[in-house]
Structure 1
Amino acid sequence: MSDVARYEYFLFLLLVILALERLARRLALPPAAAFILGGTGLALLPGTPELTLDPDLVMVVFLPPLLMSSAWFTAWHEFRRNLRGILALAVGTTLFTTLAVGIAARLAVPSLPWAVCFTLGAIVSPPDAVAAEAAMERLSLPGRITSLLLGESLLNDATGLVLFRFALAAALTGLFDPMAAVGAFCLVSVGGVAIGAVLGWGGLFLIRRLRDSDLIITATVLLAAASYIGADRLHVSGVLATVTTGLMLGWNQHADFSAGTRVRAQAFWKVMVFLLQSVLFILIGLSLRGVLHRLEGTADLLHRLVIPMAAILATMIVSRFVWLFGADAVRAVLRRWWPRQFATPSLPETIVMGWSGMRGVVTLAAALSLPEALPGRDLALCCAFAAILVTVLLQGITLEPLVRALKLTDDEAARIQSDENTAWVRVAEAQLRAIERASRRPDGTERHPRLLEQYRHRLRVTRDYAQDMATHRPEEIAHYQAVLAAIQAARAEILALHHHGQIHDHVLREMEQDLDMQEIAAGTRL
């Protein structure tokens, strides 16, 4: 296939993505499931070109920007508050699943070496950040559960990849030193965080001096790639480096980025993440053709793979529940002595967390990177693809009905709304004080009496709304609906003026941009 043909095929995939996204919304399906099904369908069509994925290229192209975006928009206070639980999930669950799957693989295929079995366990053990974020977008879960799952998805790829490298090295060399592995794991983790912190501070130093929004957004993309590639070249965790850099940029954006830069950056990253996620899940579906090609003409081999694969997938799913319920039991014991430090999730929360282990790009890339001569490579490839299909399709599709059946809701919504109301009162008070200082002349008269009255009125309305939101909410909705109607009337007027040649294109764009910002601001209040 020529380069032009590859580009045309990529454009065709974008068209498929648009159709699948619309179909997913119409059928109330998770988009990730629709994309994988669509890619799988394309892979099975006669004449579809076979797709060969370079696992290293997939990791470098897709993982850094997706991790950067997830870390950028992470709620930092929630992440820090739940860090102990996040680490227990990201490290403990991944280690336990690797161990359990390795034992299951050995029991199912006794001829496989132990190191290969644990390599397979490391491949399928880490839930995927991309799949987790795609699933969480559709759900309204308790804040702590959302924080734990998203935090886990940021960090467990690092654990899974490090375990994979150690297990694969043991499988290829026949040598494994547990103490050296623990030391190397700590070094890789700490080194990744350190590299990410250094690049984060360096990036912020540069960003504060760029001032141009386009350059700043470009710098954030480069920082995502630099943190991952730089850490990987230094043989430490590129995942943790990228996450650390993203957390630092996300925390400092409020002070170091201008309003225009934040708006443009959020729009840019939202579109970029959508395209990367969509293309990635399509590629996962298309990769089925390569797996089937390897098994072509080997019906006996496929038959021998079915039972071990089913055992491995069942162990992968069950082991997550075992770890979570075991961790809850330990917390319940520790809570007797330290009740404030060890909160125990409810049974429905634990069930949802156990059912939220969707696999994705890291599992696929790790399986594809296995050497051709490694024993059990075909089993690993089939298990990796099946793990992604089963978790994204089965768990992804049933997760939302499960949440509804268990009657889990965002228990922090009322508190967040109260915090927002209080914050708006404080903001209105600060704005009024600033206007009073700017308005008062030395002789005691007011320079901006109308502006002063406007901000006094805003403070009164804000206080009334915070004290009795239920009464004032209908009035607020009616107010902003009227504002939107006025904006639409203004938009129709300037378009008519432009159509009749009465205003220049530059004037149209300037006025339209101002109306767009007004419409966005009013729309967020509805």
Structure 2
Amino acid sequence: MKAVETFELVLLLLSAVVALHALADKLRFPPSAALLVGGGALAFIPGLPPFTLDPELALVLFLPPLLFEGAYYTAFGRFRAHLPGIISLAVGAVIFTTCLVAVAVKWLVPDLPWAACFALGAIVSPPDAVSARAVLQGIRLPRRLQALLEGESLLNDATGLVLFRFAVAATLSGTFHLGEAIGSFALLALGGAVVGVVVGRLSVFLLTKIEDRTLFVTTSTLICWAAYLAGEALHVSGVIATVASGLVVGWYQHVVMPARVRIQGTGFWRTMIFSLEALVFILIGFSLRSVVDRAGGIAEVTATMAVPVLGVLAAMTFARVVWVFGSDALLHAARRLGVRRARPLGASQAGVLAWTGMRGVVTLAVALTLPAAMPGRDLMLITAFAAILMTVIVQGGSLGWLIGRLRPVDGDPPPRMSLPETEAAIAKAKLRAVEAHAYDADGQLIHPQLLEQQRARARASEKYARDADGFMDGIQSHFEVLLLAIAEGRRELIRLHRAGKIEDEVLHDLERDLDLEEVSITFQRGEQLDLR
């Protein structure tokens, strides 16, 4: 394909993204499923040039920013609190699914070597972070369930990739050492975490030295690829390195990122993530044609692969159901034995968790990296694509309906402070700052209206649990004191979050309000906010 044709194809796909996304919103259909189906339909339009999704490029282009953005906004407190459950899903469920799928494939295709069966299991076993985010948009879940799904989607790709690499190596070499595999997995995971933390801390330090907003946003965008490529270059998990760096930068961004940069960066990241997520699904669908052609055409695929593909999909779904409900049964048993830390999900939450697990770009990209000499390669490619289609369209499309029927209840204990209580605490912190600067050196009150306004806001926050809005006209020092008050409120908000008294949603919501207040004052002072 010539360069101009490639560019024209990209423009066509972007136009299709806009049209399909708008149609999905109008029909209240999951956009990810619409893009996947639409991309598959476009692939078979006569006259369009053939398209092959380069697997290595797909992983390095799409995975780092999408994983980083997910980790950046992850509720770290809940992530840490539910880490055992997240590891159970990201490691235990992936390994269990790999083994169960391998047994099913060996039974359905006896001539396929065991190592190749495990390779196919590793391809379809890890749910995808991109698919999970796309399907869960707009769906409200209990906090624990949200933390489990987000954490699982961030970490399980590393497990699947490691299992896949060992299975492929065992297939081609004919040897496999369990102890070596376990040791390598531990090294990859721990090494990736260390690399990610180091890259994240270095990035935070570097960001504190950058004053230009455009350079700040550009530098923050490069962090995800820096972490991923550093991890891969050091032969550890680039996935875990990216997630770890995202968690670190997300934790410190409230301190090192100025308000105007945060607003500008948020707008840029939202646009970039939307474009990448949409392109992922439409490119997966668009690559269907090359996958089917490689396997011999639709008729050949249907005649020779339908039964094993359906068997793999059934085993994959059954494995997740068994793991989720089996783990919850163990938690119930531990609870009855007096283990207070054991908190079962319950049937409703377990049912929702068991039905999630959408596959996406990682599954297809990993399948496309299969060497030509791999036994059953065509079957693996078709199965990977079928797994994506089934999970995104069937499971993702019915997830909202299932949640409505099961009505999972949030069983997590309530936060120590609510949103209205946090607003009142910030109003008090701002009032303290105003009181400290409302008098001159002689003790004379120089900002009586400002002081009364802040007192009124503090009283209103306590009484009505809402923040007073608007600013009074005044002299330059009036705005300076207001900015000092916002800074004090921001410090109080971060202190409450660091003390574990409020949750991340409250932090982000109120930080956005403080950012908007600061930008509003900056505009009033005549300093235009240049977003170019």
TM range (shorter): 0.7 to 0.9
Cross-structure match for 1:373: 373
Q: Contact (CA 8 Å) 2:195, 2:241: kept in 1 or not?
A: yes
Shift of 1:21: 1.0
Aligned amino acid, residue 427 of structure 2: A
Q: Contact (CA 8 Å) 1:359, 1:392: kept in 2 or not?
A: yes
- Equivalent position SS for 1:16: helix
Q: Give the alignment of 1:9-20 within 5 angstroms.
A: 9-20=9-20
Q: Contact (CA 8 Å) 2:292, 2:382: kept in 1 or not?
A: no
Shift of 1:445: 2.2
Instruction: Give aligned-pair identity as a percent.
Output: 46
Q: Deviations over 1:110-141 (max 9, x none)?
A: 00000000000000000000001112212111
Is 1:405 aligned to 2:415, yes or no? Answer: no
Q: Deviations over 1:407-429 (max 9, x none)?
A: 235577x9569611111111111
CA distance in 2, matches of 1:58, 1:229: 14
CA distance in 2, matches of 1:305, 1:118: 18
Tell which deviates more after alignment, 451-460 or 203-212.
Answer: 203-212
CA distance in 2, matches of 1:361, 1:516: 43
Cross-structure match for 1:440: 439
Shift of 1:346: 1.2
Q: Contact (CA 8 Å) 1:136, 1:146: kept in 2 or not?
A: no
Q: Deviations over 1:254-299 (max 9, x none)?
A: 0111111111221111111100000010000001101121133584
Q: Contact (CA 8 Å) 1:106, 1:117: kept in 2 or not?
A: yes
Cross-structure match for 1:341: 341
CA distance in 2, matches of 1:168, 1:321: 27
Q: Contact (CA 8 Å) 1:140, 1:410: kept in 2 or not?
A: no
Is 1:430 aligned to 2:408, yes or no? Answer: no
* Residues 1:516 and 1:174: Cα distance change in structure 2 (over 3 Å): farther
Q: Deviations over 1:49-69 (max 9, x none)?
A: 211111001000000010110
CA distance in 1, matches of 2:315, 2:522: 52
* Residues 1:298 and 1:410: Cα distance change in structure 2 (over 3 Å): closer
Q: Contact (CA 8 Å) 1:94, 1:126: kept in 2 or not?
A: yes
CA distance in 2, matches of 1:227, 1:515: 37
Q: Deviations over 1:96-116 (max 9, x none)?
A: 000000000000000000000
Is 1:109 aligned to 2:109, yes or no? Answer: yes
Is 1:190 aligned to 2:182, yes or no? Answer: no
Q: Contact (CA 8 Å) 1:99, 1:118: kept in 2 or not?
A: yes
Q: Give the alignment of 1:23-34 within 5 angstroms.
A: 23-34=23-34
Is 1:47 aligned to 2:47, yes or no? Answer: yes
CA distance in 2, matches of 1:278, 1:410: 31
CA distance in 2, matches of 1:209, 1:368: 42
- Equivalent position SS for 2:94: helix
CA distance in 2, matches of 1:95, 1:330: 18
Cross-structure match for 1:208: 208
CA distance in 1, matches of 2:380, 2:521: 55
CA distance in 1, matches of 2:46, 2:410: 46
What is the aligned residue count? 477
CA distance in 2, matches of 1:157, 1:183: 18
Shift of 1:355: 0.7
Q: Deviations over 1:208-253 (max 9, x none)?
A: 1112222122112221111111111221100000000000000000
- Equivalent position SS for 1:375: coil
- Equivalent position SS for 2:268: helix
Aligned amino acid, residue 253 of structure 2: Q
Q: Contact (CA 8 Å) 2:127, 2:360: kept in 1 or not?
A: yes
* Residues 1:418 and 1:197: Cα distance change in structure 2 (over 3 Å): closer
Aligned amino acid, residue 437 of structure 2: A
Q: Contact (CA 8 Å) 1:140, 1:409: kept in 2 or not?
A: no
- Equivalent position SS for 2:356: coil
Structure 2 runs not aligned, ≥5 long: 472-518, 525-532
Q: Give the alignment of 1:242-261 within 5 angstroms.
A: 242-261=242-261
CA distance in 1, matches of 2:376, 2:75: 41
- Equivalent position SS for 2:389: helix
Cross-structure match for 1:136: 136
* Residues 1:435 and 1:8: Cα distance change in structure 2 (over 3 Å): same
Aligned amino acid, residue 441 of structure 1: D
CA distance in 2, matches of 1:41, 1:47: 13
Structure 1 runs not aligned, ≥5 long: 470-475, 484-512, 519-526
* Residues 1:300 and 1:365: Cα distance change in structure 2 (over 3 Å): closer
Cross-structure match for 2:172: 172
Cross-structure match for 2:497: none
Is 1:419 aligned to 2:425, yes or no? Answer: no
Q: Deviations over 1:319-365 (max 9, x none)?
A: 00100111111111222345431110010100100111100011001
Q: Deviations over 1:463-508 (max 9, x none)?
A: 1113xx8xxxxxx9xx98x99xxxxxxxxxxxxxxxxxxxxxxxxx
- Equivalent position SS for 2:344: coil
Q: Deviations over 1:81-103 (max 9, x none)?
A: 11111001100100000000000
Tell which deviates more after alignment, 300-309 or 69-78.
Answer: 300-309
Q: Give the alignment of 1:111-130 within 5 angstroms.
A: 111-130=111-130
Q: Deviations over 1:23-61 (max 9, x none)?
A: 111111111001101101101211222111110010000
Q: Contact (CA 8 Å) 1:295, 1:302: kept in 2 or not?
A: no
Instruction: Using structure 2 for the length normalisation, give the TM-score.
Output: 0.86
CA distance in 2, matches of 1:345, 1:60: 35
Cross-structure match for 1:95: 95
Q: Contact (CA 8 Å) 1:349, 1:408: kept in 2 or not?
A: yes
* Residues 1:331 and 1:416: Cα distance change in structure 2 (over 3 Å): closer
- Equivalent position SS for 1:209: coil
Is 1:451 aligned to 2:465, yes or no? Answer: no
Q: Contact (CA 8 Å) 1:309, 1:383: kept in 2 or not?
A: yes
